[in-house]
Structure 1
Amino acid sequence: MTVFAVYGATGHTGRLVTADLLARGQEVVVSGRDPESLAALGDVRAMPAALDDPPALRALAEAADVLIHCAGPFAITGLPVATAAVEGGCHYIDHAVEIHHVKLLLDTFQERAQRAGITMLPSVSFYGGLGDLLAGAVARGVPDIDRITVAYNVTNWMMTHGAVETARLLFADTDRIGYADGAQQYGFIEPRQAIFAFPPPVGPRPMIAPVPFPETVTVPRHTRTRAVEAQLTARTFAEDQAFTSEQVAPEARAASEFTIAAQILAGGGSAAGYLSGRDLWQAAALASVEAAVRLVDGSAKSGVASPGEAFDPVDFLTVVADRGAFTLDLPKTV
């Protein structure tokens, strides 16, 4: 029987991923650094493995067909788990938003993953992953694209400890990666104030532009464009609860509301698509589980890829939307 390993299973995202896998009738192995916390998860097989214990991580990967890594910050935790997966011959998925981690896997793990016959998908996450898929879906069939903007409107986001640490690392990093004039751009990028027009009832919102999300690395891999930018509503981090909600109950954390927009500007006109819903954590969990199930079905070729590169983005988003992750609104021509 196919085995799915969940690393970081005691965290909020890991619990959601584990619950969805079990609801789909899959065999699950939970893992993380703390044996007692893993035992508290109940009647599910546990394989403790600390990040500084390569043999234990390798044993976890060898025991599974797919490993879903849920324990950020991935700038710190990503490489040991990804290395264990490729050495153990196990498909790998993570929830990273950190662009340098995503680029590291795409640039340096490609041949290793192909030799191992596995698929590695970094950033099958809310930020980055869903934006990558939505951009690919909206851009389908649009010629001569000048610019792709992925814009996130998020309210009532209650960050976990891992998310808080990730945000601090992410926005303190001045070594940014952009995409303009048809090429990757490196170095500090001065943020600017921008307004993005979301569909009603959200409407125009002040934005942080750009934000250092993975789309500037992932979208050009599957969609030809001259520029890519990710933006985030300015009020998302200004809300009182954003950085002070590490200990809230899961039910309260599920109250986030979101809209993700992908706007395409092209020589022949423009196109836009949206997805919206409640509970960004659950949306990310459902997306990563859907990706994991598809990997064991042989739906993606071996190597390292972004979600929008590995799967048909329209089909993938439609299936995840049908599972209740969000509502999806794509251009009629898609």
Structure 2
Amino acid sequence: MENKIVIYGAYGHTGKFLVAQLYKQGYRPILSGRDADKLNTFNKEYPDLITKVADINSPETLDKAFADAEIIVNCAGPFLDTAEPIIKSALRLGKHYLDVSAEQKAVLDIFEQFSEEAKHANVTIIPAAAFYGGLGDLLSTTLTKDWDKVDEISSYIGLDSWHPTKGTRLTGERNHYQRFMYENHSLQPVLEVKSKTWEFPDPISTQQVVTVPLSEIITISRHINVNTINTYLSQNSLTDIRNEETPEPKAADEKNRSSQIFCMEVVAVKGDKKRTITAQGIDIYAVTAPLIVEALKRILTGRIQKPGVTTLGEAFDATDFLSALDVDDIVVSHIKETDL
């Protein structure tokens, strides 16, 4: 398992969670990033790991950093800036690529720019393989796997709080592009922010939620035959992230997770049938690590259903993928079906 995976942005908040989980499971990833000082400081925690400095503006350094690995995981946002040069390097070298983007524009650009080239190169590219984008895609795929078409998929994301990282704030400043919803089988500009009350399971409980379309709008729409996709986020978490005084997340347990609690509830409708599934856990940044690690394991062992640019739900058996996750990281409910 040594040197088969390179983590770009390894010293970032999400990157650190990923490196820790891989290391604990016996993997020895290559640590990479733009900042040599941060990389060397972080490397002191893992003195037996290889470090390679690489800059997105220098293709030669990227190719050199990634040459010995099989898979590149990009944890360095904003992905509007980092995804394209790193994917180009991955394609030059014939390496697989995953990232943790929540940015709609970045994910959409990846599908539009690299789908044909990746397919022909037999390279797997999975953008948004994270809490945003990936988890909602897995839940939606599991929920609708025996439906040939779906009327509507709605994701309700409840957070008890949101202490954003520096990376999240930088991405927010960079991501000034039009947001899209999905309606009538096509992407549509968001012209109206909708608000409603949603009853999440305890301890999130009842929250006001508002329309906030993120990367799962793109991932779900790429492979599920669905008419409408909605994403709602709890208003309290938006208030936190929009407040410049809200501090960064602080470690609160032995895994360095914050005390943040999340619940993602996905509802799918077909005709007079409604299905619901929920995923609950601690820390939306930390939970990205087990999602990525499970994907890496499956790629390395050849358990992938579709090469080219794809999604977690399309690339793998989504139900089996979710069941493989440790309940300490995420608890997924059984599917509940009711008549409308």
**Superposition TM-score, scaled by structure 2 size:** 0.90
Q: CA deviation at 1:184?
A: 2.5
The equivalences for 1:72-91 within 5 A come to 72-91=77-96
* In structure 2, distance between residues paired with 1:154 and 1:17: 22
Q: CA deviation at 1:131?
A: 0.8
User: What whole-Å deviation, never above 9, does each CA across 1:254-292 have from its counterpart, x for those lacking one?
Assistant: 211100010012203101000001122221011011111
- Structure 2: 5+ residue runs without aligned partners? none
Find out whether 1:158 has 2:163 as its counterpart.
yes
Q: Which residue of 2 aligns with 1:181?
A: 184
Q: Which residue of 2 aligns with 1:327?
A: 331
> Matched residue pairs, number?
328
Find out whether 1:267 has 2:271 as its counterpart.
yes
**Equivalent position amino acid for 1:259 in 2:** C
Note if contact 2:181-2:229 (Cα within 8 Å) is conserved in structure 1. yes
* In structure 2, distance between residues paired with 1:259 and 1:238: 17
User: What whole-Å deviation, never above 9, does each CA across 1:68-101 have from its counterpart, x for those lacking one?
Assistant: 1101111122211122112121110000001111
Find out whether 1:197 has 2:202 as its counterpart.
no
Find out whether 1:293 has 2:297 as its counterpart.
yes
**Superposition TM-score, scaled by structure 1 size:** 0.91
User: What whole-Å deviation, never above 9, does each CA across 1:161-216 have from its counterpart, x for those lacking one?
Assistant: 1111223444x43x22221112222x34221222223234433321111x131222
**Equivalent position amino acid for 1:289 in 2:** V
Note if contact 1:57-1:84 (Cα within 8 Å) is conserved in structure 2. yes
* In structure 1, distance between residues paired with 2:138 and 2:224: 11
Note if contact 1:264-1:270 (Cα within 8 Å) is conserved in structure 2. yes
* In structure 1, distance between residues paired with 2:243 and 2:31: 28
Q: CA deviation at 1:130?
A: 0.6
* In structure 2, distance between residues paired with 1:307 and 1:242: 32
**Equivalent position amino acid for 2:125 in 1:** M
Per the alignment, do residues 253 and 243 of structure 1 end up closer, same or farther by CA in structure 2, a change over 3 Å counting? farther
Q: CA deviation at 1:120?
A: 0.5
Note if contact 2:149-2:270 (Cα within 8 Å) is conserved in structure 1. yes
Q: Which residue of 2 aligns with 1:67?
A: 72
Comparing 35-44 and 17-26, the one that deviates more: 35-44
What secondary structure, in the 3-state scheme, does the structure 2 residue paired with 1:207 have?
strand
Q: CA RMSD in A?
A: 2.1
Per the alignment, do residues 243 and 286 of structure 1 end up closer, same or farther by CA in structure 2, a change over 3 Å counting? farther
User: What whole-Å deviation, never above 9, does each CA across 1:102-144 have from its counterpart, x for those lacking one?
Assistant: 1111122112212322100000111111111111111222465
Find out whether 1:128 has 2:133 as its counterpart.
yes
Q: Which residue of 2 aligns with 1:50?
A: 55
Identity %, equivalent residues: 28
* In structure 1, distance between residues paired with 2:148 and 2:265: 19
What secondary structure, in the 3-state scheme, does the structure 1 residue paired with 2:129 have?
coil
Comparing 239-248 and 79-88, the one that deviates more: 239-248
* In structure 1, distance between residues paired with 2:241 and 2:287: 23
Q: Which residue of 1 aligns with 2:24?
A: 23
- Structure 1: 5+ residue runs without aligned partners? none
Q: Which residue of 2 aligns with 1:206?
A: 208
What secondary structure, in the 3-state scheme, does the structure 2 residue paired with 1:123 have?
coil
* In structure 1, distance between residues paired with 2:138 and 2:25: 23
